[in-house]
Amino acid sequence: MTGNGADGNTVLSVRDLTVEFSSGGGVLRAVDGVSFDLAAGGALGVVGESGSGKSTTALALLGLHRHTDARVTGRILLGAEITDGTGGVDVNALDDEGVRRLRGRRIAMIFQDPLSALDPYYRIGDQIAEVYRTHSGAGRRAAWARAVEVLDRVGIPDAARRARARPHEFSGGMRQRALIAMALACEPEILVADEPTSALDVTVQAQILDLLDELRADTGMALLLVTHDLGVVSRSADEVLVMHRGRAVEQGPVREVLRAPARPYTRALLDAVPRLDAPRAARREPGDPLLTVTDLTREFRRPGRGLRRETTRAVDGVSLDVRRGETLGVVGESGSGKTTLVRMMVGLLAPTSGRISFEDRDVTGLPEKRLRSIRGDLQMVFQDPTSSLNPRRTVGDGIADPLRVRGVPAGEARQTARELMERVGLDPARHDRYPHEFSGGQRQRVGIARALSLRPKLLVCDEPVSALDVSTQAQILELLRDVQEDYGLTIVFVSHDLAVIRQVSDRVAVMRGGALVELADVDELYASPRHEYTRALLTAVPVLA
C-alpha cells in the first residue's frame, strides 16, 4: 500500500515488521508481520483496539524499543530514495548513534499525553530549543529563536512571551501544540502522532487536526496517525491500516475501507462507533427531581499574597435538577466546569455558595460525619480507573472496601464483590488479581462494580469511556445501560464526546466557562441547538466519511 502524497514518493516503507516481548516465560508477539508504505505529504491512519499493536508499531519506527526486552525484526526504511521497498535507511540496521541522529531530523513523534512528555520543571521554549540544538548544533540564541518560531507556527499566541511559560501554565490543547512545535523544530520528513487528540474536547481536537493538515500542505511532511477514533481517521487521513492482535487485517484508501469494509473486524469497529445521527434506544420516563442544585458556585484561589491572589470561578451560578431514573449528559470543553460541578453533586467538593438538595433534603456543606449517611447513595465512576484503584490491593478488595467501611462482615463483603464482578462481566475467579493484570476496559468495569457495591441511587460517570477504543467503549456503555435498568439508577454522564452523550442521555446540559448555557431534551438539543456554543460543539465533531 502506498499513501497518497503530493508527489507519490515513498518516504517510509515497512516490511514484515515483527515485535516480540518476553512474557511469563514465553513470547508475546505484539506486532506480527506488518507491512505498509507512506508517501511524502501523505497521511496514513493506523486504527485498532487497545492491544492491537498500533502504538507498538509506531514506537518501532523511531527505534524506541531498543534497550528493552523487545525483539524487533523486519525492515523500516526511511528516505525519498525508496523504490519498491528497497533503498533508504533501515532503522533496524543502524547503531544507537545512527538512530539518535535520525530522530527529530528524519522522523519525529508526538505522544498522547503532553504532560508526561514535557518536563514540568523547564520552560517550554527551553525544551524545544534543546531538541533543536541537539540535532542541528545551533547556538543557544539561534535555538531559542527557532523555538519561538515553531511555537508561533503552531498557533501559540504571543509566542515570544509564552515560550517562557512552563507546561502547567498551558491548557491541554496548547501543550499538544507545544509538542507538535518540538517535533517540527528540525523539519522532519515524517511525523508520527500517537493518539494526539484522544484527551481533547471536540473543538480543540478540530484545531489540532486542522493544524496537522496545514503543516502537511505547507511542508510536504508525511503523517502517520495512530488513533482509535475512526472519525478522526476519516477526517485527516488519506489511507487507513486496520490492526487486530498484531496483524494488519485491512488497508486501503480511507473512503473505500470505511464505506465498504472487506473484513468482519473492520465492520465490527465501524458498527461500534457512536454517531450523531444514530437511532437512540427507547426513552426512559423520568420521575421527580432526585437531586437539585440551585445557584451553585465554586471558586478556587491561586497561591499568592494580598492582591496577588487570583480567584477562579470554576462553576458560576448553575441551577438544574437531575430527575429520578434519567441519564443527564453534561458536556463542555476542558475548563468548562463540568467535573467541578459533578464533584460537588456527590460531596467530593464543597460549594462556595448555592444549595444542593438530595431527595428534598438540603445537603449543602454537611459535616463529614453526617455526609457519610448519604454518601452510599451518591457514587462516582472516574475517567482513569488506573489512578482510582489502589495498585497494592486486589480488585476484589477494592470492590469490597466500601462495604467493609459500612461494617459489612468480611466474608459477606467478599461474596458481594464476587457477585458484582460477575454482574459487570468479569470472571469472579480473578477476584485476587491486581489492577495491572486487567486491561483498561476491565479496570473500568472494576470501577463500576465498586461504585455499585453500596447500591447507590445516583451514579456520576466522569468521562468513563474517553480513553477506551470504540469496541470497548460500546461494551462499557451497554453495561451502564444494563445496570441502570437492573439497579434503578439515575445517572449523570460527563463527556466531551457529543456522539456518546447523544447515545446515552435523556437530557443534556451544556457548560461553558463555568456557566450552564443550555439545558434541553437530547433530541431537541441535537436537532435545533439554541446557543451558538452548542452549535459550535456539534459542528466540530468529526464524522465518518
- Using CA atoms, how far apart are residues 438 and 418, in angstroms rounded to an integer? 16
Q: Which of 187, 216, 239 is the last residue of a domain?
A: 187
User: What is the three-class DSSP state of 13?
Assistant: strand
> What is the helix (H) or strand (E) element at residue 10, kind and residue range?
strand 10-23
Q: What is the pLDDT along the chain (545 residues), one digit of tens a residue?
A: 444 444 568 999 999 999 999 876 788 899 999 999 999 999 999 999 888 999 999 999 999 999 898 999 999 999 877 777 777 889 999 999 999 888 888 899 988 777 778 898 999 999 999 999 988 888 999 999 999 999 998 888 899 999 999 988 887 778 888 888 898 888 889 999 988 887 677 887 888 888 889 889 888 899 999 988 888 899 999 999 999 999 999 999 999 999 999 999 999 999 888 888 776 666 677 789 999 999 999 998 766 555 556 778 899 999 999 999 999 999 998 778 999 999 999 988 999 999 999 999 998 877 666 677 788 899 999 877 777 888 899 999 999 999 998 889 999 999 999 999 999 999 999 999 998 888 878 888 999 999 999 999 999 999 888 778 888 888 899 999 999 999 999 999 999 888 899 999 999 999 999 999 999 999 999 999 999 999 999 988 887 76
The answer to whether the beta carbons of residues 213 and 33 sit under 8 Å apart is no
Question: Cell 472496601 appears where?
Answer: 401
User: What is the three-class DSSP state of 163?
Assistant: coil
What pLDDT score does 303 carry? 60
- Using CA atoms, how far apart are residues 32 and 222, in angstroms rounded to an integer? 24
Domain assignment present for residue 166? The answer is yes
* Most distant CA atoms of the chain, gap in Å: 74
Q: CA 190, 195, 201, 204: dihedral to nearest 10 degrees?
A: -10
Domain assignment present for residue 271? The answer is no
Domain assignment present for residue 5? The answer is no
Domain assignment present for residue 22? The answer is no
Domain assignment present for residue 486? The answer is yes
What pLDDT score does 289 carry? 95
- Return the closest-CA partner of residue 541 out of 216, 156, 269, 230: 230
Domain assignment present for residue 120? The answer is yes
Same domain, 183 and 304: no
- Using CA atoms, how far apart are residues 386 and 475, in angstroms rounded to an integer? 18
Domain assignment present for residue 101? The answer is no
Same domain, 371 and 487: yes
Same domain, 479 and 360: yes
What pLDDT score does 441 carry? 83
Q: Which of 153, 169, 187 is the last residue of a domain?
A: 187
Same domain, 180 and 293: no
What pLDDT score does 480 carry? 93
Same domain, 304 and 175: no
Domain assignment present for residue 214? The answer is no
Same domain, 492 and 364: yes
Residue 406 is given by DSSP the state T
Q: How many domains does the chain have?
A: 2
> What separation in angstroms does the CA of 406 have from each of 4, 412, 416, 420, 460?
61, 12, 13, 17, 21
**Residue 415: CB partners within 8 Å, gap ≥ 6?**
none
Q: Taken in order 212, 170, 469, 16, is the CA torsion positive or negative?
A: positive
Look up residue 48 and give its amino acid.
G
Same domain, 293 and 157: no
Residue 4 is given by DSSP the state -
What pLDDT score does 4 carry? 45
Q: Which of 146, 170, 187 is the last residue of a domain?
A: 187
Q: Which domain holds residue 171?
A: 114-187
Identify the bridge partners of residue 432 per DSSP, sorted by sequence position: none
The answer to whether the beta carbons of residues 448 and 424 sit under 8 Å apart is yes
CA 84 to chain CA centroid, Å, is: 37
Cα–Cα–Cα angle for 194, 267, 233, rounded to 5 degrees: 30
Locate 121 and state its grid cell: 520543571
What pLDDT score does 3 carry? 45
CATH of the domain at 536: 3.40.50.300
Identify the bridge partners of residue 434 per DSSP, sorted by sequence position: none
Same domain, 302 and 164: no
Same domain, 346 and 460: yes
Same domain, 298 and 167: no
What pLDDT score does 541 carry? 85
